[in-house]
Amino acid sequence: MRILLYFLILLTPVTGYAQKTENGNEIEITQPVNEDLYITGGTITVSAPVYGDIVIGAGTIVINDTVSGDVIVGGGKITLNGYIGDDLRAIAGEAYLNGTVQGDVVLTAGTFTTTKKSLIYGNMLVGAGTATINGAIDGHLKCRGSEIKLNGEVSKDADCRGESLSINGVVRGKSILAGSQIHVGEQAEFYQDVSFWQRNPSLDFNRGNEAWRGYL
């Protein structure tokens, strides 16, 4: 686990010298931290604000409060419920986003889920076995995975490529969809051009919805 922490630290931009380092099997942060925080352990819970960057390597990670800077985390299961003031970078077996990210998200996981209340103001780059996006993305989306479900809203362009795609959300920019199987639900809305590739093409982006414009 310490090797993972050292690797994550290498991804952290150097902005100053103040920092706090902790390690242990189970750690909960219950008091505000006014510097960068580096933690490794079995289970890490952040229940107080961190005014700086946070870097965590652990089996289970839960962040419930505000982090004013970057969040760089690697673990088996990651749950992000709080507000992140800058970018999120994560490696996980399972990852859940239930909060707000002011910057960009770069994430790789076996399973990744964003809830309806989640909000990303920047861009999102995701590689996952299964990615389910239920929240809002104010920037661009680029997603690669075996199974991709887009139920939320993307304000700019969306590029989704995988084995199985299910689109039942809103894309306000241009869209690129590629997959062996592509399902477009009744709630899907595309406001600009759609480029798509499907092994056995059966999609029709001209079925009466003025927001749909597709081409091969």
Residue 53: strand, helix, or coil = coil
d(CA 21, CA 94): 25
Task: List Cβ neighbours of 17 (8 Å cut-off, separation of 6 or more).
Answer: none
Could you report how far apart the first and last alpha carbons of the chain are, in Å? 47
Q: Tens of pLDDT along 28-51?
A: 999 999 999 999 999 999 999 999
Q: Could you read off the pLDDT of 94-150 as tens digits, one per residue?
A: 999 999 999 999 999 999 999 999 999 999 999 999 999 999 999 999 999 999 999
Check whether 189 has a pLDDT greater than 70. Answer: yes
The model carries a pTM of: 0.86
Q: Compute CA distances 20 → 84, 88, 89, 189, whole Å.
A: 18, 19, 20, 46
Q: How many domains does the chain have?
A: 1
Domain that holds residue 63: 2-215
